[in-house]
């Protein structure tokens, strides 16, 4: 089970007991924010991508999305998401529980600058009903990131139309 892989990984830092398991799903940013009673932006989402030599993760704040131009400038190629089957096979977790803990050894982790505005963030822990509170500094140490990147932009907010009738 993926949560057990994440738990074993976090145990190396004495953080395995800090995993929060919910009675409800936290499989999406919105559901995780509801389960934690926090802002969606504070959910650290792990985006599973295809690299030129395999898979990698970019961990971002919950309120942003990949900016294709910035991504290409940083990595030298266009962002391409893994399929659901590839995520499990290449990363080691299933969609809804993807996190930078307990992943396959050959998977690199990049942390996006969008996370740096928070004192505490909440990544998943390998299951669709788990999270752990961490600081950016703790996340850096625990996930063994390659480096910080700046490859995201704010999501476009829907325009609210006034009812004119």
Long-range contacts at 39-43 (CB < 8 A, ≥ 24 apart) = 39/63, 41/118, 42/118, 42/120, 42/121, 42/122, 43/121, 43/122, 43/123, 43/131
Top pLDDT among 155 and 139 is at: 139
Q: What confidence score (pLDDT) does residue 163 get?
A: 58
Contacts 24+ apart (CB under 8 A), 85-90: 86/48, 86/50, 86/55, 87/48, 90/48, 90/54, 90/55
Which among 130, 122, 119, 14 is positioned nearest to 59, based on CA atoms?
Answer: 122
DSSP 9-71: HHHTTT-GGG-EE-SS---SHHHHHHHHTS-GGGEEEEEEEE-SSSEEEEEEETTEEE-HHHH
pLDDT tens, residue by residue, 10-28? 999 999 999 999 999 999 9
Tokens at residue 106, please? 């050959």
Is pLDDT of 160 > 70? no
Cα 35 to the center of its chain, rounded Å = 16
| pLDDT tens profile 90-106 | 999 999 999 999 999 99
Among the residue ranges 44-58, 117-131, 145-159, the one predicted with the least confidence is: 145-159
| CA angle 41–89–126, rounded 5-degree value | 40
- Global pTM reads 0.91
CB atoms within 10 A of CB 56: 22
* Complete domains list, the chain, with CATH: 2-153 (3.90.960.10)
In the chain, % of residues over pLDDT 90:
88
- Summarize pLDDT for 130-148 with one digit per residue, the tens: 999 999 999 999 998 999 9
Query: Where residue 155 falls among pLDDT bands split at 50, 70, 90?
Result: confident
């Amino acid at each position: 089970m993926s949560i057990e892989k994440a738990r074993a990984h976090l145990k190396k830092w004495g953080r395995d007991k800090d995993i929060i398991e919910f009675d409800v799903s936290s499989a999406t940013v919105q559901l995780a924010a509801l389960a934690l009673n926090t802002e969606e932006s504070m959910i650290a989402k792990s985006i599973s991508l295809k690299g030129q030599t395999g898979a990698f993760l970019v961990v971002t704040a919950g309120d942003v999305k990949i900016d294709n131009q910035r991504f290409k400038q940083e990595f030298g190629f266009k962002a391409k998401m893994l399929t659901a089957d590839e995520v499990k096979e290449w990363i080691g977790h299933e969609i809804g529980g993807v996190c930078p803990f307990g992943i396959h050894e050959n998977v690199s982790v990049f942390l996006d600058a969008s996370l740096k505005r928070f004192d505490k963030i909440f990544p998943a822990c390998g299951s669709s009903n788990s999270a752990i509170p961490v600081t950016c500094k703790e996340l850096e140490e625990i996930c063994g990131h390659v480096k910080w990147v700046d490859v995201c932009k704010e999501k476009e907010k829907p325009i609210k139309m006034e009812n004119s009738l």
